[in-house]
């Protein structure tokens, strides 16, 4: 007959072994979970979505530069590949062909695309036009001074192209001031090429955005009027980010989050120096010039109503058949 205490001792040993085995199994489980989590994190880093983006080398499209350089894209799992374009009309071609997933474009030009049934939509807001701090103006050539629209009758005015925001904004201002578009002569040339003709008087006036506005003023041109105020008496959208209509909704949301974060960052004056350095890197503009221009500010959320003034004015001058709700731009 075994002693009762012996049985109790064996029972204790057996219980301790079971507890030890349970602890070992628990340890294995913890290790597996840690390794799995580590692998998952690594997989997420490796699986970042590669996205091609087109943008002009100017500040109104610079949110892509800021989002890339400040890590806002990477935080959204986006590996951004930015391609510079020289002609704004390359943007819709890149989007529609699939060469680019996202591209910046002027609100007016997006309004035209939508009116023609192009399968594109807005996915994020871009630059604001702020009438109290205008970044575009009508200027007179060196040695000439026009103080009102009537003085421009019979004069030659340089614009970048027909039916662009600069052209339509000028027409809206002339009309408001009682001057018909036929009363002036338009000549077309890229903004960068307006500097010489303005300084030499080969054109009488021109519509010029930053940074060229600062350059022509330094070379003797004078401001006539902030003509885009005739379209946007209050803050409105100047540029937006577009994609194909069938863009993956999750990717579009992540892109928008990154762009909005970049906008909030760039709008802070304390970041002007850093954002200026980034802009100089991507645009090739002189850093000293960037420090002197009126800086662009950006919308921090996509509010389609801020695009309505451009849709209305493009309809007013027959560039699109009729006005429509700006909410259609996001559909």
Domain definitions of the chain by residue range:
1-47, 49-129+234-330, 136-230
23 by Cβ neighbours in 10 Å (0-12 / 13-18 / 19+) ranks as exposed
Supply the CATH classification number for the domain 49-129+234-330: 3.40.190.10
**Interatomic CA distance for residues 114 and 86, integer angstroms:** 23
Contact 106, 92 (CB under 8 A): no
Query: Cα 59 vs. chain centroid, distance in angstroms?
Result: 9
Determine how many CB atoms are found less than 10 A away from the CB of residue 42: 10
What architecture is the 136-230 domain classified under in CATH?
Answer: 3-Layer(aba) Sandwich (3.40)
**220 to 35, 153, 192: CA distances (angstroms):** 67, 22, 16
**Interatomic CA distance for residues 144 and 310, integer angstroms:** 31
How do beta strands 156-159 and 205-209 pair?
A: parallel
Q: In which residue are the tokens 């909030």 written?
A: 264
**Can 49-129+234-330 and 136-230 be said to share one CATH topology?**
yes
Phi, psi at residue 328, to the nearest 5°? -70, -20
Per-residue pLDDT of the chain (331 residues; tens, 9 = 90+): 444 444 444 344 445 545 545 543 544 443 333 334 443 333 344 478 999 999 999 999 999 999 999 999 999 999 999 999 999 999 999 999 999 999 999 999 999 999 999 999 999 999 999 999 999 999 999 999 999 999 999 999 999 999 999 999 999 999 999 999 999 999 999 999 999 999 999 999 999 999 999 999 999 999 999 999 999 999 999 999 999 999 999 999 999 999 999 999 999 999 999 999 999 999 999 999 999 999 999 999 999 999 999 999 999 999 999 999 999 999 9
Residue 123 token pair: 């996915």
**Interatomic CA distance for residues 22 and 160, integer angstroms:** 77
């Amino acid at each position: 007959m075994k002693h009762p205490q012996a049985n109790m001792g064996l029972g204790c040993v057996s219980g301790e072994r079971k507890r030890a085995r349970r602890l070992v199994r628990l340890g294995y489980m913890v290790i597996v979970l840690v390794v799995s989590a580590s692998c998952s994190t690594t997989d997420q880093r490796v699986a970042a979505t590669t996205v091609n983006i087109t943008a002009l080398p100017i500040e109104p499209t610079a949110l892509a530069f800021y989002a890339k350089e400040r890590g806002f894209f990477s935080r959204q799992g986006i590996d951004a590949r930015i391609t510079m374009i020289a002609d704004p009309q390359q943007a819709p071609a890149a989007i529609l062909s699939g060469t680019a997933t996202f591209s910046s474009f002027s609100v007016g030009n997006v309004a035209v695309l939508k009116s023609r049934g192009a399968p594109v939509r807005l996915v994020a807001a871009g630059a604001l036009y702020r009438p109290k701090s205008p970044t575009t103006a009508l200027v007179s050539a060196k040695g000439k001074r026009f103080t009102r629209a009537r003085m421009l009758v019979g004069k030659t005015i340089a614009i970048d192209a027909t039916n662009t925001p600069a052209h339509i904004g000028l027409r809206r201002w002339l009309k408001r001031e009682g001057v018909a578009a036929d009363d002036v002569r338009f000549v077309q040339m890229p903004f960068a090429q307006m500097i010489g003709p303005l300084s030499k008087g080969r054109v009488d006036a021109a519509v010029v955005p930053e940074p060229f506005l600062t350059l022509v003023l330094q070379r003797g041109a004078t401001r006539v009027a902030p003509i885009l105020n005739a379209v946007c008496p209050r803050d409105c959208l100047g540029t937006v980010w577009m994609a194909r209509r069938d863009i993956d909704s999750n990717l579009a949301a992540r892109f928008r989050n990154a762009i909005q974060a970049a906008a909030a960052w760039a709008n802070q004056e304390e970041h002007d120096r850093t954002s200026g350095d980034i802009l100089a890197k991507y645009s090739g503009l002189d850093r000293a010039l960037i420090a002197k221009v009126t800086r662009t500010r950006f919308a921090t959320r996509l509010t389609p109503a801020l695009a309505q003034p451009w849709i209305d004015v493009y309809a007013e001058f027959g560039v699109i058949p009729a006005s429509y709700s700006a909410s259609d731009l996001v559909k």
